[in-house]
Structure 1
Amino acid sequence: MKFTSGFLAVAFMIASGALAAPWPSSSKHATHRLRSLPNGKRVLAFHREPTFETFAEGIEHVAEKRAPGDWKALGLSFLESRLGAGSLHQTSSFTNDVASHVFVQQSVKGIPVVNAVANVALNKGEKVVSFGHTFVTPKTISSTTPKLTAAEAIARAEEQLSGTHDGTPTKIEFVFTENDHLALVHTVQVESNDNGHLLESFIDAATGEVVQVHDFTNSITYRVLPIRKQAPTEGFEVLTDPADLTASPNGWQQVPGSTATTTTSGNNAIAFKTSQTTGLSSENVSNGFQFVWNSTAQPTVSPNIDVARVNAFYIVNTIHDITYRYGFTESAFNFQQNNNGKGGAANDRVTISVQDSAGTDNADFTTPADGQSGRMRMFLWDFTNPRRDGAIENDIVAHENTHGLSNRLTGGGTGRCLQTTEAGGMGEGWSDAFADWTEQAGPTIRDFTMGAFVISDSAGIRSHPYSTSTTTNPLNYGSIKTLNEVHDIGEAWANILHNVHAALITAHGFSTDAFTNPNGTGGNVVFLHLLIDALALQPCNPTFLTARDAWIQADVNRFAGANKCTLWKAFASRGLGVNAANHTNNAAVPAGC
């Protein structure tokens, strides 16, 4: 079974092989992604492999005419010194407790280049600690005057992608193609009529052809399944006031400035079936949701529909609160309807459609840019009778929600920076790794299996359980040389991270309060800090190698490099040693380790 842009590996659309190019070999995983269009054509999207440097304790950069403490100006000055003054279009920035981040896009003739971006991070001493970019030197450049109007481009996008424009304003941008050409494009967001995926299409402003496509979809009292539990067979519980008021000061059922609701609707998320106005669950007891799951009934009957809505609402809110504590805040492009004046773009809470009719045996998550809602769709699974609901298997909900985390933090909130085959695969891996993190309950890290409940099979939906045993799970860096599908690649990355997590717990023990205390000393706390910090450090469309380097740098930034050898040994144990390259394993670690 293959799993897709959300959860299962679903074909993007039907392809007839009109593009006379084979599926890219692993050498192109870091630069290409093949997308199939309904009209039979296939588009081989290209992203230059990123250049990425880390600088440990940091390097000095002196910027003229900069006020003390103006880290944005310092970051931009550094980028200008490396990439050329006048070529930068600033897109976003944010700061947290250990680093400040600036993200830019290349600008040519005053027009931004979609797939040419850069990012720099500075530590609290205002030293540059990392720098990545995919800036380009084109050989040819299209005319900056579009032949097609925006309306004509929308019509061409809707026709070729078999979709409907979602109302987002179009933009004029450049796309850098594989033959070193800058193509002028209209950027048009379209919702696919075929599978509901939100697509960002780049329509050639002269010919009307699709040049490139980004897919943004990575497919009170509450009686719920507590987040440390994985499946309903472990037992629902009634939780009282589970919201973390540090992360959600108004609780989960109130948008600041509005009246509190008695439904599955609030500042961080809204959970519904079919309709966001009439398809919500309402409290069924005084100040509470206490619907009781009927395991012998179909998921589509009462009270099971309410159980699904309430559980998904609880999990998404809980993950919002956990990741908020670890740095995924308003200014770092998280998902909230009201940002409480703390930066970032608002009006983008997660919409959770349970028992969505668009598919079966799957789930997906759509991550457009900051300021547009993340969209989760949970489908029913038909491996059993009665069918089973992914909204009440916590690892599936956690997996989907984590697509929002990885897509928003990588690249500065654009949602555009996990688009190559390798980076997209790593997106699947981070999602499995976070679900794995939530289920670990003690100092002995357990093997972790995804999706066992929905298919009623203890083996789950991945090829192997995630494990420290090479017998149980042999996947490593070199495995991706023979893998072409993003979920298969994601399994290798998630297994590497499972081993990193285990190594950190062995080194530091386990913090039982990690969900609410990011200041704990346990290895599980260290792991989640580094996972989240590294996402913001790494370049657009990272590779296994650049992501590994971002983890090492994140440790320097937050823990003064205390975990350097632990991390290197864990990465090297699965082939990502110092000399790993070109999807060939290496077990070497730095001198002194």
Structure 2
Amino acid sequence: MVVFYKFFTSVFLAIVYVSLSGALTVPVASKHATHSVRSIGRDVKIEVYHPKSKYNTFGAGIDHPLRKRGASLKESSEVFISSHLGANSRYQSGFAGEVASHAFAHQVINGLIVSNAVSNVAFNADGKVVALGSSFFEPSGKIPSTTLSVSFEDAKNTAEAALDGTYLSEIPSTVEYLAKDNGEVVLVHVLQIRNEEAATWYNALVNAHTNKLESITDYVAHATYRVLPITKQNLLEGFETLVDPANLKASPQGWHSDGSTTTAVTEGNNVVSYKSSTTNTSPATGANLAFEYIQNPTVSPTTATNINAALVNAFYILNAVHDIAYRYGFTEAAFNFHNNNFRKGGRGNDRVLASMQDDFDDNNALFSTPPDGQSGRMRAYFFTFTDPNRDSAFGNDLVVHEMAHGISGRLTGGGTAGCLQTTEAGGMGEGWSDALASWTEKTSAEVPDYVLGQYLMNTPNGFRTRPYSTSSTVNPLTYGSVRNMNKISVKCDWANLLHNVYAALVAEHGWSATSHTDPNQSEGNVVFLHLFLDAMALQPCNPTFLNARDAWLQADVNRYDGANRCLLWRVFASKGLGVNAANYIDNNVIPSDC
């Protein structure tokens, strides 16, 4: 049955500046799905708003007017969105995956897109609609004129001053509308502002009538490592020499060529790892791209051999994660990171730039995920809890975690990199990163408690407050725990849920030792990563726990005809995400037919 629904006619809470000491008048939990607070200076924060998403999945799919007419993905999605939401839309991007095609669009008013009102539609192999997510909204006030009162130059000056950065002139600015949480819309200049030295990167939205900074998209995802560590991704386990680790189905020219330029340094089509400058890469130690530096943990990490060993290890890990994700669907058309997309869709010239042994900070790392076509950037620092300091490059769990930010940031929202901005969605972004780090480290069907960052933190507890565990005694977090959590804590809750999903799938379907290179298997760890990535493309912009749960269930319908439906429901319900879960109140009910 076709499900018609009308979007809420009013949404409250404004995008406002709040002082560090300012009190919020609305319960924090009520804002997790729509708001986030971003620091933009020593004394000022900005509260960013994204309209609440509506999300429906349709199992085997529902029909739409253009299905049998051979219409394009663009045409089909725009017509379907219009008929269901009663609003104009503009196709932004899309791609055809293995089991579903995905289209992403913005709401349009007076010919201009609404920057934070987005929709995504998924079609199965029969051309039927299987998922619809949308944060479209119905304005409650007068729509402002599209005639600019503030010039681009003035808006640029305002954005640069507020965000302490420089306009990226190579990325053209646009004029759009912005939905506010009081039901109004404002006309805005949209432009990217970056400060390379301070490691900040924003998409700024400046009111085109008042010259006020209304909102920002923060492209930087920080990894704060007081969370849950990992067990098999650090140098204490010993180095090995690997021969030809590149997966040519994911990196057809290998890791050191983009099809036109071949290097003998830690630079290639997917990644360049360097210290201080992209020209300061690590060279091969011998012929045939042999990179065989001997790392010495007893001396400073800034000695020459240790620097080179660090760049090689980071280059290997980032490329390995790229290849795994690619084989499971994070391809060129799905907004992956490559200089050359080999005419397979998406935008190129956006390989990952990995600054290792970065001296901007310590005891941390970050990954900046701008839109498709702009390079993702990783910055990794020293951890100072030991003497000599420990190098982030040898905490493989940290490196995988950071690369995973790029994956979730690109797949959610159609390559815009602006759809994990609310407290809840951003927290889940951290959780996905922890979960992928855990997945890459499994060497058997055993699913022990998982701890992240023990080596770098030099403590058994690692980065997180609790291990990820199938034991509710060891880790009691549930959906209801989100109510009083901040972004840092939300990540632990979501990652622990995924830890339990993984354990259930492996218990049911077994475990494959070749899951990193062969996604065409039926074992539980293979099923998990397929659903993990498929659901990211299905879920709406700024998803909630409930949205993400429904996307997982729909992903299972799309790929496995719902074979894991009851298993997934049982795990979700065990963590409070049952059928009737809502408003951060636990519910343990599963469907009656399970």
What is the TM-score of this pair, normalised by structure 2?
0.93
Aligned pair count? 568
Deviations 1:354-411 (A, max 9, x none): 0111111100000110000000111111111100011111110000000111110111
Query: Greater CA deviation, 205-214 or 235-244?
Result: 205-214
SS in 1 for 2:521: coil
Deviation at 1:208, TM superposition (A): 1.6
Q: For residue 187 of structure 1, what is the aligned residue in structure 2?
A: 190
Deviation at 1:39, TM superposition (A): 6.7
The partner residue of 1:26 within 20, 29, 32 is: 29
Instruction: Return the letter of the residue paired with 1:152.
Output: D
Deviation at 1:570, TM superposition (A): 1.0
Query: Greater CA deviation, 368-377 or 146-155?
Result: 146-155
Deviation at 1:315, TM superposition (A): 0.6
Q: For residue 545 of structure 2, what is the aligned residue in structure 1?
A: 544
SS in 1 for 2:580: coil
Q: Which runs of 5+ in 1 are unaligned?
A: 1-13, 220-226
The within-5 A match list for 1:529-568 is 529-568=530-569
The within-5 A match list for 1:373-392 is 373-392=375-394
Deviations 1:323-347 (A, max 9, x none): 1110000000000000000000000
CA distance in 2, matches of 1:33, 1:88: 25
CA distance in 2, matches of 1:488, 1:422: 10
Is the aligned partner of 1:265 residue 2:285?
A: no
CA distance in 2, matches of 1:201, 1:18: 24
Q: For residue 512 of structure 1, what is the aligned residue in structure 2?
A: 513
Deviations 1:248-296 (A, max 9, x none): 01000001122x110000000000001112x100001222000011010
Q: For residue 252 of structure 1, what is the aligned residue in structure 2?
A: 255
Instruction: Return the letter of the residue paired with 1:351.
Output: L
Deviation at 1:74, TM superposition (A): 2.3
Deviations 1:68-96 (A, max 9, x none): 264443222211211236x1111001011
The within-5 A match list for 1:142-541 is 142-167=144-169, 168-192=171-195, 195-219=198-222, 229-258=232-261, 260-277=262-279, 279-287=280-288, 288-484=290-486, 486-541=487-542
Deviations 1:420-455 (A, max 9, x none): 110010000100000011111111112111111111
Q: Is the 8 A contact 1:475 1:492 kept in 2?
A: yes
Q: Is the 8 A contact 2:74 2:91 kept in 1?
A: no
Instruction: Return the letter of the residue paired with 2:565.
Output: K
CA distance in 2, matches of 1:289, 1:361: 27
CA distance in 1, matches of 2:25, 2:272: 42
Q: For residue 224 of structure 1, what is the aligned residue in structure 2?
A: none
Q: For residue 7 of structure 2, what is the aligned residue in structure 1?
A: none
Deviation at 1:22, TM superposition (A): 5.4
CA distance in 2, matches of 1:169, 1:69: 31
Q: Is the 8 A contact 1:19 1:43 kept in 2?
A: no
Q: Is the 8 A contact 1:39 1:160 kept in 2?
A: no
Query: Greater CA deviation, 497-506 or 34-43?
Result: 34-43
SS in 2 for 1:239: coil
CA distance in 2, matches of 1:402, 1:67: 38
Deviation at 1:228, TM superposition (A): 9.4
SS in 2 for 1:441: coil
The partner residue of 2:75 within 68, 73, 76 is: 73
CA gap of 1:243–1:23, structure 2 versus 1, over 3 A, is: farther
Deviations 1:6-33 (A, max 9, x none): xxxxxxxx98437563585111100111
SS in 2 for 1:478: helix
Deviations 1:43-83 (A, max 9, x none): 2111111000001111111228x742644432222112112
Q: Is the 8 A contact 2:231 2:451 kept in 1?
A: no
Q: For residue 11 of structure 1, what is the aligned residue in structure 2?
A: none
Q: Is the 8 A contact 1:140 1:180 kept in 2?
A: no
SS in 2 for 1:364: strand
Instruction: Return the letter of the residue paired with 2:241.
Output: V
CA gap of 1:497–1:474, structure 2 versus 1, over 3 A, is: same
Q: Is the 8 A contact 1:89 1:106 kept in 2?
A: yes
CA distance in 2, matches of 1:425, 1:503: 23
CA distance in 1, matches of 2:150, 2:120: 32
Instruction: Return the letter of the residue paired with 1:124.
Output: A
What is the TM-score of this pair, normalised by structure 1?
0.93
Give the fraction of aligned pairs with identical amino acids, expressed as a percent: 48
CA gap of 1:145–1:230, structure 2 versus 1, over 3 A, is: same
Q: Is the 8 A contact 1:102 1:121 kept in 2?
A: yes
Deviation at 1:97, TM superposition (A): 1.2
CA distance in 2, matches of 1:161, 1:96: 37
Deviations 1:169-221 (A, max 9, x none): 211111111111111111121114773121111111122211011110102xx
Q: For residue 112 of structure 1, what is the aligned residue in structure 2?
A: 113
SS in 1 for 2:378: strand
